[in-house]
Amino acid sequence: MDIKEPMESVRDAAVIMNNTLLAGREAVMQADREFVNNCLYLAEYEANKRFDGTVRIREWYEVYIGIFWRYGWIFEGNPVAMVERQFSGSVQQAWMNSVGRLVTIAQRADVEAALAALEESGQLLKKFTALGGNIHKSLIVPMRYDARGDLTVVLSSVTLRKSVLTTTYLFWKIHQPLSQLDIHANKLVISRRTMDAHRASVEEAIRQIPYPFEAVAI
């Protein structure tokens, strides 16, 4: 399976890859964007083989981030693990409050812009938030180079078990405290030299995946 063609044709600031929102792409070189895309796809594929991410949330996430470590990414800073069993309010704000210490001002702005663009498209918003079910799982991943020129990403998993969802805007605003919200996040960094050392093995692993790849520009 060759996924380079769709990756090269999507040059927007943000894309949806299955249930992953990838933001900040316009600030990252093409080859490095492809490396991130491939790692994201591999991580989701491997985690889905091991666990149901809507049931075994923590175990799924540990496999997911472990794939990044396998391909040279280094963990930076303390992880985020938040579980709120009686949640009400804006999931977007909850994400900002919990994951905000891992992201830069620029990365936060990238995510806010991507979510605002999502809200302008009812079709894309419905796809991303999976409004048809009672359990929604998504991943929000901002990317940027740091001051050293290394590439940083924040891998954040958002799982919402919703009982009542009265509006989809403001990124799933929940009006009754009958929903559970789980947010897990880690900041990872990788150097250009390390990416170069792992590009071939990542691309080979991608070719072994039988499932179709989907990336939609926002």
Residue 178 binned pLDDT confidence (cut-offs 50, 70, 90)? low
pLDDT digits (tens, 9 = 90+) for 21-55: 999 998 899 999 999 999 999 999 999 999 998 88
Torsion of CA 202, 143, 116, 174, to 10 degrees: 80
d(CA 16, CA 200): 24
The chain-wide mean pLDDT, for the chain, equals 84
pLDDT of residue 55: 87
Residue type, 71: Y
Q: Does 12 score more than 50 pLDDT?
A: yes
pTM of the model: 0.86
d(CA 97, CA 105): 13
d(CA 148, CA 170): 35
Is residue 67 a contact partner of residue 118, using CB atoms and an 8 Å limit? no
pLDDT of residue 5: 37
pLDDT digits (tens, 9 = 90+) for 116-143: 887 777 667 766 765 456 778 889 999 9
What radius of gyration do the chain's Cα atoms show?
A: 16
Q: Does 169 score more than 70 pLDDT?
A: no
Q: Which residue, chain included where needed, has tokens 């399976």?
A: 1
More confidently predicted of 115 and 140: 140
Domains of the chain: 12-217 (3.40.198)
The pairing of beta strand 14-17 with beta strand 215-217: antiparallel
pLDDT digits (tens, 9 = 90+) for 88-98: 888 888 999 99
**Cβ within 8 Å of residue 47, ≥6 positions away:** 53, 60, 61, 63, 64, 67
